[in-house]
Every structure is written in C-alpha cells, then in structure tokens.
C-alpha cells in the first residue's frame, strides 16, 4: 500500500490505506517501521492492531539503528503486543527470509479481522491514546546509548538547510550537476552520432538492394531515421548522466532538504513545498516532473505543479540553449574560463525558469486555482551512502529508458512530417519555406524569424530537433544536418541575420514555449482534461512571446 503515517487520512495515500484496511479482505498486514524513529511508526502499528489481528511489525533500518547505538528489544515488543516483530535491513536483504516465513505462518491464521465498525474507533478523539502508548512501549524497549545519536545529521542540516547557506549550496550543486552532465555527455553523443551515421549507410544499401523507390528510401532514412537517431543521440547521454546524479541526491537524503529550503517560497506562492521535488525532476524530463506531481496531496496544488512544470528546461532544450551560449555569449573564450562562464550563464537561464515557476504558481493560485496552501509532513531521512548499483539500474530503467521510449514514439512520425515539409514543393517552393515566410512578420516582432519559429513548431514532438531544423532550413538541404564546429554554425546564423538579440530571444523562447508532445500527453493523462493541457501550453508560450517582444523592443531602442 502507499506510504502512510496514520489511518486518520490527511492525504490521498492515507485515504487509500484506511479504506483498504477497514473495508477490504486480506490475509494479514505488515507494518514497516523505521528503527531510528520507532516511536512515531509504532503509532500506526497500534492503529492497525485495533482493526486487524493478523499483523506483523517489520522494523527496517536496523543497521542504521546499530550505527547510532540504538538498541531495540524486538522480543519484548512482540510479547507486549502479542504479534511478531521482525528486524530487517532491506537494502542488503538481512532478515527477509525470516520475514517471509513469518508472513506464511501468520497468513494461515483465521479470524484475522475485527468487525468493520472498529474503524470508527481510529478516527475519534481517542487517537491520542495510540501516541501515548507508543511512547510508553518505546520507553521500555528502546535504549539510546548515545543521546546525541543524530548529532552528525543535525550538524549537516545546519549547513544544508540554513537560511544563510541552504539556497547558495543548492545553486552550487545545480551548477556542478549541469557541469558534469554537459561535459560528460559530449563524447558519448558523438559516438552515437557516428554509429548511427555508419549504420544508416548500411540500412540505405539494403533498401537500395531491395529496389525500393528512391523517394521512399529518402523519406525513411533522411526523415524518420535521422530524426529518430538525432533524438536518441542528443537525449540518451545527458539523461544517462543527469538521472543517476539526481537519484544519488535522492539516496543521500538531500532531496527532502531541497523541499524544506523552498517550502516557504512555495507557501508564499500558495503552492506546496513538494513542488520543489517535481520541479527538480523536470530538469531531466518535464514528462517525468508532471508524473511526479502525484506526490502532492492537494488536487489544487498538484494541478498548479503540473501546469508550471515546463517552465524549467528539460534536457531536450539544453542543446539549443547551450549551443546559443557557446556561439554568441562565450565565443572565443577557451579553457576553464570559457567552461565556467558557459555553465554560469546556463545556471542563470535555469534560475529564470525557476523564478517563472514561482511567479505562475502564485498567479494560478490567485486566479484559476484559488486556495490556501496545505500543510504536509516532510520527513528528513538520515544521510546514507547511496547504493551505487541500484542507483544506476533504477535511474536507467525507470527514468532514462522510459522517457527515451516515449520520445522515440513521437519522434519517428515527426521525422516523416519534417521531411515532407522540406522536400515537397509547390510551384518550386517547399511547404517548409511557405510556412516560414508566413510566420516571418510575426516572428520578427519577437526578435526571431520565420525559420526559427517554424523550427519550434516542428520540434513539438521533441525539443532536441529544433536547432538542426533551423540549420537545415537555412542551408536548404531538405534533411537534418550535423555541424560539429561552433564557428561554422555561428557563421551560418550570422549570414542569415542573427545578432545577439536574436540569440537571446531564441534562447528565451527555448526556455519558455509549449511543452513537447510527450509532456502534453502526460499532462492530459494526469489531469484527464484537454482544458488544463491547453492552459499548460498557453502559459509558457504567451510568457515567452511577451518577453521576446520586450527584449526585441529594448534592442531596437538601443540600436542593436
């Protein structure tokens, strides 16, 4: 069942647990408790015991209790409560065989449940009795050999959650994570590009040998295949680096501290502090961030988090932002200074997205989704050494490959559409050029041009292909191209009228425009409404258009 602290429901998870425990049939209940803070969890166990006879109390994190010199008399608690109490260390499976044997034995006992009417006993004023009894039991059977057993954690928390140092350390960690992600992703991305180029030639030879029509081969290879492999090459390496780093912070116990640091800010925005966690997930993939909003109990605050998640850039938008920074803002800088300045500018862009998240969270809470912020229980777990193997496997399977798979599904048909737009001509002009010419007047007001705006529209399935489409259209190649030299790319853009105002507006619109198709489908699934999905698309898009217009107007005034 979902994690819960009490059978008195204060969240959706606790409602689910209460309903199942009280009104459904089952063989037994295993209540998993934290050995380091057994007193708090024992309260839940006592509530369950008031309803069900077949109960096993499983005390996890016995290794942490041993490190902190906490001795627990499991047999004494078992005798007092007349139920099995099993100690385990779940991360290395210590005690699990004994737990499984006990589950098998207890599940065979009949008359496992009291009458359903007893459920009303849990929700009345007598609940304080459970808390008092939990304290009494622990006072008899739990011995703290070190009164300052949490001293190390509290010392670290004084630094990581301090009003003075908490936020700066958080920003510094953000810089480090993106530095590692960006610098480490370049080489594997290049390897993937080279492999897919080589493999694509082999596939083309096979298709030619099969005597397929030339137009079909070009549509498949220059359209579907190139877009598909571009998305994989650009998305996979950063995600394979970012998600494990994110999971390491989670395993260390730092992510709840981030929520703690940002809780007051989100409260001022009439939102939930847990939104800090979903916002962090959005850096890897906005679709993951939207799905992660399920941890927010309040339906109103969950919706606020969903609608604002795309204000932080996902890894699909990083290539465009990083390329623009490299070509127009740190061009000519080399060595450490160039790298440091680039990451610093990227961090500023990200912080602008975070600021927009705060602003629109408050805007929604004051307009479409009025309401007061709810309270929630935030547990600060002990700092622990990450399980490196599980971190890599969990982040790759549960997050990286899952997100990549969803992106591939939408990138394949998008590749065919892009190829058709670029290669089907009407009176000697491609559909793509017709569209760019149509969009150009409005795009100029935004400080862009028709090519850039059309690239964002065609990049709806996957943000990774926006910049390649821009280059493809300028060069009239009819297919996505790869230019590795920054100077060569910069020369192409400058020849087509780019200034630093164009670069700044393009970077701004990359930060603030509609979410990708995968995220939009996820929003529809999570909210069950096309109305909220449309609003989630409109908020960043309108913001991006307005800000780009302001930047362009200021540039016009100063004569750029």
Instruction: Write the pLDDT tens digit of every residue in 207-218.
Output: 999 999 999 998
Contact 407, 413 (CB under 8 A): no
The per-residue pLDDT for 206 is 93
The per-residue pLDDT for 486 is 75
Please give the average per-residue pLDDT across 322-327, as a whole number.
85
Q: Residues, the chain, total?
A: 560
Tokens of 167: 């936020």
- Reported as a pLDDT band with limits 50, 70 and 90, residue 537 is very high
CA proximity to 164, closest of 267, 261, 268: 261
As a whole number of angstroms, the distance between CA 453 and CA 446 comes to 9
As a whole number of angstroms, the distance between CA 489 and CA 467 comes to 10
Please give the average per-residue pLDDT across 449-464, as a whole number.
89
Task: Render the burial of 347-380: b for 16+ CB within 10 Å, e for the rest.
Answer: bebbebbbebbbebbbbbbeeebeeebbebeeeb
Please give the average per-residue pLDDT across 13-18, as a whole number.
82
As a whole number of angstroms, the distance between CA 381 and CA 254 comes to 9
Show Cβ contacts of residue 227 under 8 Å, excluding neighbours closer than 6 positions. Answer: 411, 412, 414, 415, 418, 462, 465, 480
Better-scored residue on pLDDT, 410 or 318? 318
Better-scored residue on pLDDT, 158 or 121? 158
As a whole number of angstroms, the distance between CA 558 and CA 474 comes to 28
Whole-structure pTM value = 0.76
Contact 505, 449 (CB under 8 A): no
82 burial (CB, 10 Å; 0-12 / 13-18 / 19+) is exposed
Percentage of the chain exceeding pLDDT 90:
37
The per-residue pLDDT for 89 is 93
The per-residue pLDDT for 124 is 52
The per-residue pLDDT for 112 is 63
Show Cβ contacts of residue 9 under 8 Å, excluding neighbours closer than 6 positions. Answer: 15, 17, 18
Better-scored residue on pLDDT, 396 or 53? 53
As a whole number of angstroms, the distance between CA 323 and CA 469 comes to 14
Q: Where are the alpha helices (DSSP H) in 210-317?
A: 214-218, 226-252, 255-268, 275-284, 286-292, 299-308
Per-residue pLDDT at 115 exceeds 90: no
The per-residue pLDDT for 119 is 65
- Reported as a pLDDT band with limits 50, 70 and 90, residue 353 is very high
The per-residue pLDDT for 303 is 95
The per-residue pLDDT for 355 is 94
Per-residue pLDDT at 78 exceeds 90: yes
Among 60-69, 476-485, 536-545, name the most confident range.
536-545
Tokens of 104: 């098998």
Tokens of 308: 């604002």
| Least confident residue range of 125-139, 175-189, 512-526 | 175-189
Among 258-267, 327-336, 532-541, name the most confident range.
532-541
As a whole number of angstroms, the distance between CA 52 and CA 43 comes to 15
**468-491 pLDDT per residue, tens:** 888 878 877 766 666 666 788 888
Contact 310, 145 (CB under 8 A): no
Among 121-125, 184-188, 429-433, name the most confident range.
429-433
Better-scored residue on pLDDT, 379 or 32? 32
CA proximity to 235, closest of 227, 225, 223, 246: 227
Q: What angle do helix axes 517-527 and 401-423 make, rounded to 10 degrees? A: 130
Please give the average per-residue pLDDT across 258-285, as a whole number.
87
As a whole number of angstroms, the distance between CA 279 and CA 353 comes to 10
The per-residue pLDDT for 314 is 85
Better-scored residue on pLDDT, 430 or 373? 430
- Reported as a pLDDT band with limits 50, 70 and 90, residue 125 is low
How is the chain split among helix, strand and coil, in percent rounded to 5? 70, 5, 25
The mean pLDDT of the chain is 86
Tokens of 460: 């709806």
Contact 55, 127 (CB under 8 A): no
The per-residue pLDDT for 186 is 74
As a whole number of angstroms, the distance between CA 314 and CA 463 comes to 9
The per-residue pLDDT for 373 is 76
As a whole number of angstroms, the distance between CA 560 and CA 555 comes to 5
As a whole number of angstroms, the distance between CA 373 and CA 292 comes to 19
Tokens of 295: 């941890």
Give the H/E segment covering residue 163: none
Helices (H) and strands (E) in the chain, counts: 26, 7
Residue with tokens 């399920």: 294
The per-residue pLDDT for 485 is 67
Per-residue pLDDT at 443 exceeds 90: yes
Domains of the chain: 12-144 (3.40.50.300), 166-372+386-407 (no CATH), 409-557 (no CATH)
> With the CA atoms of 457, 461, 467 and 470 taken in that order, what torsion angle do they form, in degrees rounded to the nearest 10?
-40
The per-residue pLDDT for 22 is 84
| Least confident residue range of 138-147, 239-248, 409-418, 477-486 | 477-486
The per-residue pLDDT for 86 is 96
């Amino acid at each position: 069942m979902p994690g819960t602290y009490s059978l008195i429901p204060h969240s959706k998870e606790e409602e689910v647990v209460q309903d199942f425990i009280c009104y459904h049939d089952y063989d037994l209940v295993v209540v998993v408790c934290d050995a380091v803070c057994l007193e708090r969890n024992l309260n839940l166990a006592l509530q369950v015991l008031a309803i069900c006879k077949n109960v096993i109390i499983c005390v996890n994190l016995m290794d942490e209790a041993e490190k902190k010199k906490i001795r627990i008399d499991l047999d004494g608690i078992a005798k007092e409560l007349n139920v099995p109490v099993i100690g385990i260390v779940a991360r290395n499976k210590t005690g699990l065989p004994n737990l499984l044997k006990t589950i098998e034995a207890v599940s065979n006992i009949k008359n496992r449940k009291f009458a359903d009417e007893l459920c009303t006993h849990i929700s009345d004023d007598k609940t304080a009795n459970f808390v008092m009894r939990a304290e009494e039991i622990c006072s008899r059977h739990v011995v703290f050999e070190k009164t300052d057993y949490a001293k190390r954690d509290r010392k670290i928390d004084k630094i990581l959650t301090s009003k003075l140092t908490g936020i700066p350390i958080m920003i510094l960690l953000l810089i480090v994570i993106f530095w590692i992600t960006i610098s480490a992703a370049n080489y594997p991305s290049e390897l993937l590009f080279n492999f897919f180029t080589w493999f694509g030639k082999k596939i083309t030879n096979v298709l030619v040998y099969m005597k397929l029509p030339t137009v079909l081969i070009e549509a498949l290879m220059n359209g579907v295949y190139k877009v598909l492999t571009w998305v994989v090459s650009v998305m996979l390496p950063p995600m394979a680096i970012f998600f494990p780093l994110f999971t390491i912070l989670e395993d260390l116990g730092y992510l709840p501290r981030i929520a703690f640091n940002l809780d007051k800010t989100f409260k001022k925005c009439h939102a939930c502090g847990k939104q800090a966690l979903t916002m962090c997930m959005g850096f890897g993939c906005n679709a993951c961030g939207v799905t992660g909003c399920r941890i927010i109990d309040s339906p109103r605050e969950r919706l606020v988090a969903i609608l604002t998640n795309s204000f932080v850039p996902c890894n699909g938008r990083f290539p465009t932002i990083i390329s623009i920074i490299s070509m127009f803002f740190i061009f000519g800088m080399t060595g450490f200074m160039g790298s440091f300045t680039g990451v610093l500018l990227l961090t500023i862009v990200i912080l602008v997205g975070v600021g927009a998240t705060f602003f629109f969270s408050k805007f929604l809470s004051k307009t479409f989704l009025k309401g007061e912020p709810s309270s929630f229980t935030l547990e600060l777990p002990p700092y622990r050494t990450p399980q490196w193997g599980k971190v890599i496997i969990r982040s790759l399977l549960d997050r990286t490959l899952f997100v990549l798979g969803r992106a591939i599904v939408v990138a394949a048909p998008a590749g065919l559409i892009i190829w058709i737009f670029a290669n089907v001509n009407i009176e000697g002009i491609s559909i793509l050029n017709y569209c760019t010419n149509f969009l150009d007047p409005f795009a100029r007001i935004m400080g862009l041009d028709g090519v850039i705006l059309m690239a964002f529209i065609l990049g709806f399935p996957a943000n990774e292909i926006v910049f390649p489409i821009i280059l493809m259209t300028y060069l009239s190649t009819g297919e996505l191209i790869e230019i590795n030299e920054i100077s060569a790319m910069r020369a192409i853009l400058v020849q087509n009228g780019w200034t630093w105002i164009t670069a700044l507006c393009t970077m701004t619109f990359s930060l603030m425009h509609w979410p990708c198709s995968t995220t939009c489908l996820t929003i529809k699934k999570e909210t069950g409404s096309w109305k909220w999905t449309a609003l989630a698309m409109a908020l960043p898009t309108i913001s991006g258009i307005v800000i780009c217009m302001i930047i362009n107007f200021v540039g016009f005034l100063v004569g750029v």
